Chain A
């Protein structure tokens, strides 16, 4: 009898099971609550599908417009029709992607020229890219939303600049800046908070000092920090921002900067046993509350991320002009006809540079 130390299960002991709904919220959960995670994080398949859908919708509309245009202009000559078939075609998903990325890059360098804080620049780029995860470049061309995005990013990041002086600085007009502000806000799904990896970088800069105490030269760490800041800015222009969280992107940037240092840090930090016999690393300590992750897997995630942020995607200027012209013609079939007519008149082929010149004056 004396051996029964635990409570007997059947006895009505009367201690009403204390139903405690302790929803302990970890810092990871806080991130899961953020709009960046809820609305702006995707798997590669989801992101890809999203881009395809947006492009298809706009392309369909473009084709329809074209058809209506042709029906409304029965007088078109064969030559003109051929020109339409050739020039007034919707842009592809890849072309959209190239164009948006180009403007995202531009907005960061432009913000730099205006001496805006790094985070404002990063937010502007993020806004612009998110805008085109809802709209197609065939709906609104990036040029038209460019200053709006930058102006709005300033406001959102508490770096207010009056619209008048902003217009003066950017050589645009208050009307054109404000014209699409609502459209932008709506496209952002009314979520404005951005978690950029810069603060995480600062955090790792501190934590590496603690973990690798005495094993790392602090002056050198400062150098790593500065280089990584640049890497992160570049990373913000890749799709890594949709597939990974800011700490993961930061670690990828660090890994790129100094593989040995970062690996050592991660090994010590998360007790990753190097060259452990079991390949899957199941015995490594779990490092998140949902038990999805151990150090080895984290390393794998970071390596994947590093791979993505290291991809070079420089698009040539001619390529961009070609895409811009393509959008212009597909959205304004009349301009194709005018072009054909002018060519017939001057009978000398108009080269592309002049083409874009004329477009600039128009918009």
Chain B
């Protein structure tokens, strides 16, 4: 059996890709032995089991199987190790406050770990190192993960934004072109029309041209604005570091200044309030935008506004505005 043939055949059930084109191969990062999907289903559905390869004593779980991306199992393994290590050692240059030397030292350490794991050197000790680091730096790791997620999102949004803008620009340009054509046509007709009633050709032409000029402006103005926006691309500011400093304070619509723990809840079922009910039914009230729920909300707010102020205690310190 030569290598090519081996590549397309499951070593367990001997099914050939040639005969079952839908066949997919999976590997498990424990040993990276290639097994076809239906074998995985069959062997591991009931729980962890030993790898069916002869001489391999690894216990494999079904949920750890994945599609092999790289033809070379060695590469596949290294990539997986890197992914795992970098998920934990996820500092960026920023975390070193720009100290390049320290950052490089850190990268080297990480490379050592990857190398050791990949080549089976000091595996137990290295794994321990990885775990220890993970435990100690849990917070930072989470934060950095969040950050890279955000970066990705920003990137995607930016791409979307730029695409939208470009589309709008194309539409506007087309619109301007069309308008220009229409204006030219209109000017021609208008000049002919006006010349038939008025004598001074130069004046007529000048006037019509002026009108055309005024007409043109709307789409053009929009294009100018669009260009301006593109030039001041808001996403640029995000990437060029202007906004970096404030990312620790999350945006809150009210600047944190809103009482969300009211002492009452407005009922939906309505209140017995003949006075308000009467107003609510009046046409001129309805048309004005009068809202009974606004009234109720206000009255209830005033009912509890200051209920918790204990004046006799809070004002124990002498007031500033004593009689002068």
Contacts and interface: CB of A to CB of B under 8 A. Distances in A.
User: Do A and B contact each other directly (Cβ–Cβ < 8 Å)?
Assistant: yes
Nearest to A31: B306
Tier of interface size on chain B? 35 or more
Interface of B is mostly: loop
B302 A246 contact: yes
What size tier do the contact residues of chain A reach?
Answer: 35 or more
Given A50-B323, A199-B299, A25 B308 contact: no
B307 A245 contact: yes
Contact of B140 (A13, A201, A297): A13
B170 to A, nearest CB: 43
A46 B306 contact: no
B307 A203 contact: no
B153 to A, nearest CB: 20
Interface stretch (B42-50, B183-191, B259-267): B259-267
Given A30-B305, A210-B267, A41 B262 contact: no
Given A28-B308, A222-B274, A243-B312, A203 B139 contact: no
B67 interface: no
Interface in A206-223: 206-207, 209-210, 218, 221-222
Given A18-B248, A46-B319, A23 B257 contact: yes
A39 B311 CA distance: 12
B305 A207 contact: no
A39 B95 contact: no
Interface in B3-47: none
B124 interface: no
A43 B315 contact: yes
B315 A41 contact: yes
Contacts, number: 179
Interface stretch (B72-80, B130-138, B228-236, B282-290): B130-138
A287 B302 CA distance: 16
B308 A293 contact: yes
Interface in A173-202: 189, 195, 199-202
Contacts of B261: 26, 289
Interface string A9-34: 00101111011111111111011101
Interface in B132-154: 132, 135-140, 143
Given A13-B140, A18-B248, A25 B299 contact: no
Contact of B310 (A201, A207, A247, A293): A293
B1 interface: no
Given A8-B136, A207-B264, A28 B249 contact: no
B256 interface: yes
Interface in B96-111: none
Contact of B259 (A5, A14, A27, A57): A27
Contact of A2 (B131, B309, B312, B318): B131
A27 B305 CA distance: 5
A209 B296 CA distance: 12
B308 A289 contact: yes
A37 B321 CA distance: 12
B306 A37 contact: yes
B165 to A, nearest CB: 33
A7 B138 contact: yes
A351 to B, nearest CB: 38
B235 to A, nearest CB: 24
B323 A20 contact: no
Contact of B302 (A23, A200, A244): A200
B139 A27 contact: no
A286 to B, nearest CB: 9
A24 B158 CA distance: 34
A248 interface: yes
B309 A32 contact: yes
A28 B256 contact: no
Contacts of B250: 18
B300 interface: yes
A72 interface: no
B64 interface: no
Given A2-B131, A7-B139, A203-B302, A53 B323 contact: yes
- Greatest chain A CB density within 10 A among B249, B303, B321 is at B303
Contacts of A290: 308
Contacts of B258: 24-25
Contact of B318 (A8, A32, A46, A243): A46
A217 to B, nearest CB: 10
B273 interface: yes
A353 to B, nearest CB: 36
Interface of A: 1-2, 4-5, 7-8, 11, 13-16, 18-28, 30-32, 34, 37, 39, 41-44, 46, 50, 53-54, 57, 134, 189, 195, 199-207, 209-210, 218, 221-222, 242-248, 250, 287-290, 292-293, 297-298, 301
Given A11-B137, A44-B312, A293-B308, 14 more contacts: A14-B91, A18-B250, A24-B256, A25-B259, A26-B308, A41-B311, A43-B311, A46-B319, A203-B264, A203-B303, A203-B304, A206-B296, A209-B272, A243-B311
15 contacts: A1-B128, A16-B248, A26-B261, A199-B298, A200-B302, A202-B303, A205-B273, A206-B300, A210-B265, A244-B311, A245-B306, A246-B302, A287-B307, A290-B308, A292-B308
